[in-house]
């Protein structure tokens, strides 16, 4: 079974290649990163992410790509949507 960010999978762009090879989840069961919200599996995935050396790059790419499912960069899809809303700059008319 392939890991979460298995570097044997094709990657898009140089940045994806560089951070994926250091991913803490590279050899872990990929299904853990697509858990039910609030489940024990979600807590396990977030714990692994918390010690991952490429967490920031992973989160940046998930935010840039608008990925709304699974745990990326230690955040769930709902948490990333909330973060994107907070990041929105409102320009007065
Ligand atoms: S932050 Fe989490 S999902 Fe992202 S590469 Fe690291 S362990 Fe994997």
79 domain residue, yes or no: yes
Q: Domain range holding 17?
A: 13-87
pLDDT grade for 91, boundaries at 50, 70 and 90:
low
Tokens representing 64 are: 């840039």
pLDDT digits over 8-58, tens only? 555 555 555 688 999 999 999 999 999 998 999 999 999 999 999 999 999
30 domain residue, yes or no: yes
Alpha helices, H only, the chain: 13-20, 40-50, 55-65, 77-87
What is the per-residue pLDDT for 18? 84
55 domain residue, yes or no: yes
Query: What domain count does the chain have?
Result: 1
Among the listed residues 1, 78, 66, the one whose alpha carbon sits nearest the alpha carbon of residue 36: 78
Does 4 sit in the ligand 1 pocket, CB within 6 Å? yes
2 domain residue, yes or no: no
Task: Write phi, then psi, for 5 (nearest 5 degrees).
Answer: -115, 60
Nearest atom, ligand 1, residue 54 CA: 6
Map tokens 């700059």 to a residue. 89
3 domain residue, yes or no: no
Nearest atom, ligand 1, residue 19 CA: 5
The mean predicted confidence, pLDDT, of the chain is: 85
């Amino acid at each position: 079974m392939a890991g979460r960010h298995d570097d044997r999978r094709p990657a898009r762009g140089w940045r994806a290649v560089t951070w994926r090879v250091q991913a803490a989840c590279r050899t872990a069961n990929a299904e853990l990163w697509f858990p039910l919200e609030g489940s024990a599996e979600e807590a396990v995935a977030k714990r692994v992410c918390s010690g991952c050396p490429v967490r920031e790059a992973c989160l940046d790419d998930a935010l840039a790509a608008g990925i709304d499912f699974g745990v990326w960069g230690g955040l769930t899809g709902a948490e990333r949507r909330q973060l994107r809303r907070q990041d929105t700059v409102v320009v007065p008319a």
